[in-house]
């Protein structure tokens, strides 16, 4: 079932065109603007990995990955509704949790990945049937509604991924350094390093103890053409 969030982002990125839900061969594309195909993917990037790889053979593709940064929970909207702010917050760095399954697709010369931080209302209704002890909730999510776009980050190259990290890493660094800088668990830092390495943003330069040491790969500068002689 399509959520209101997906529908709103699809309309936003279509830019007012009528090219929404376009059939292209075996695939249905969320939106088409000019020669660019646009896919909105709130779920796992792994679910569209093969589809995007196939589309990139002949088309420019924009994959939009929304991340919920702020969520207002609306319970029982059809009756006496209650509203409260969820303590869970998403960030741009959450992209790396999904990018683990997308490193064989990104980067690509015809692919743009856009991360969108959004604010949503999550509408919930009472669940059906008896509540089981192992279940923490007794509700079902009926919809997510977009209330604001808070930030966006457009990624096309490995250097764009590296730029998502704050300054302050030692040179070289290991995943413990990365975990400390980002205030995350070591396993989270390891997944981020995995993505950066397999996407071509960093490379291993040795080991310290049992930990790999990494350095950022230099950014390739475009060649400048020599001016023609007069």
Domain boundary among 156, 186, 201: 156
Question: Quick check: helix, strand or coil at residue 25?
Answer: coil
Q: Are residues 109 and 201 in the same domain?
A: no
32 with 125, same domain: the answer is yes
Give the mean pLDDT of the chain.
Answer: 89
Q: Which of 156, 172, 205 is the last residue of a domain?
A: 156
**CB-based contact 88:126 (threshold 8 Å):** no
pTM equals 0.87
Same-domain check for residues 106 and 189 = no
Q: Give yes or no: residues 66 and 112 share one domain.
A: yes
Please give the Cα distance from 165 to 91 (Å, whole number): 12
Same domain, 190 and 139: no
pLDDT of 99: 96
Q: Which DSSP letter does residue 184 get?
A: -
Q: Is residue 121 pLDDT above 60, yes or no?
A: yes
Q: What DSSP letter does each residue of 114-163 carry, written as one string?
A: EEEEEEEEEEEEE--SPPPTT-S--EEEEEEEEEEEEEEEEE-SHHHHHT
- Say if residue 116 is exposed, middle or buried (CB neighbours under 10 Å; 0-12, 13-18, 19+): buried
User: Residues 192-200: what's their mean pLDDT?
Assistant: 97
Q: Per-residue pLDDT for 221 more than 50? A: no
Closest by alpha carbon to 45, among 2, 111, 109, 95? 95
Predicted confidence at residue 82, as pLDDT, reads 86
Residue 225 pLDDT > 80, yes or no? no
Residues 111 and 67 in one domain: yes
**Same domain, yes or no: 161 and 129:** no
Number of domains in the chain: 2
**Residue scoring higher pLDDT (143 or 133):** 143
Q: b vs e for 6-45, b when ≥16 Cβ sit within 10 Å of the residue's Cβ? A: bebbbeebbeeeeeeeeeeeeeebbbbeeeebbbbbbeeb
Res. 54: pLDDT tops 90: yes
Strands 20-24 and 211-216, bridge-based pairing = unpaired
Residues 147 and 162 in one domain: no
CATH number of residue 228's parent domain: 1.10.10
State yes or no: pLDDT of 102 exceeds 90.
Answer: yes
Measured from the Cβ of residue 168, the count of other Cβ atoms closer than 10 Å reads 10
Q: What is the pLDDT of residue 230?
A: 45
Same domain for 114 and 228, yes or no, is: no
Per-residue pLDDT band for 203 (boundaries 50, 70, 90) equals very high
Residue 177 belongs to domain spanning: 157-230
Do 174 and 151 sit in the same domain of this protein? no
Do 202 and 103 fall into the same domain?
Answer: no
Same domain for 176 and 107, yes or no, is no
The answer, yes or no, to whether residue 229 has pLDDT greater than 80, is no
Q: Looking at the predicted structure, is the pLDDT value of residue 105 above 50?
A: yes
Q: Is the pLDDT of residue 186 over 70?
A: yes
CA distances, 168 to each of 52, 67, 177, 181, 213 (Å):
35, 25, 9, 7, 15
**Cβ–Cβ < 8 Å for 61, 33:** no
pLDDT at 30: 95
Using the 3D structure, point to which of 156, 183, 215 is the last residue of a domain.
156
């Amino acid at each position: 079932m399509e959520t209101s969030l997906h529908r709103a982002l699809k309309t936003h990125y279509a830019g007012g065109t009528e090219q929404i839900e376009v059939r292209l061969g075996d695939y249905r594309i969320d939106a088409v603007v000019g020669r660019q195909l646009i896919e909105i993917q709130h779920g796992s990037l792994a679910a569209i990995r093969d589809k995007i790889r196939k589309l990139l053979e002949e088309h420019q593709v924009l994959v939009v990955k929304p991340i919920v940064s702020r969520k207002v929970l609306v319970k029982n909207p059809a009756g006496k509704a209650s509203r409260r702010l969820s303590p869970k917050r998403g960030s741009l760095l959450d992209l790396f949790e999904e990018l683990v399954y997308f490193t064989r697709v990104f980067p690509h010369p015809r692919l743009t990945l856009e991360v969108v931080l959004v604010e949503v209302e999550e509408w919930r209704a009472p669940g059906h049937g008896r509540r089981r002890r192992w279940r923490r909730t007794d509700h079902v999510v009926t919809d997510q509604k977009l209330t604001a776009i808070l930030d966006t980050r457009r990624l096309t190259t490995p250097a764009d991924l590296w730029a998502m990290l704050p300054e302050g890493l030692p040179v070289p660094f290991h995943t413990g350094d990365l975990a400390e800088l980002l205030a995350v668990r070591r396993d989270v830092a390891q997944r981020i390093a995995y993505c950066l390495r397999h996407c071509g943003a960093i490379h291993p330069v040795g080991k310290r103890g049992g930990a790999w040491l990494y350095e950022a790969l230099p950014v390739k500068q475009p060649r400048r053409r020599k001016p023609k002689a007069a």
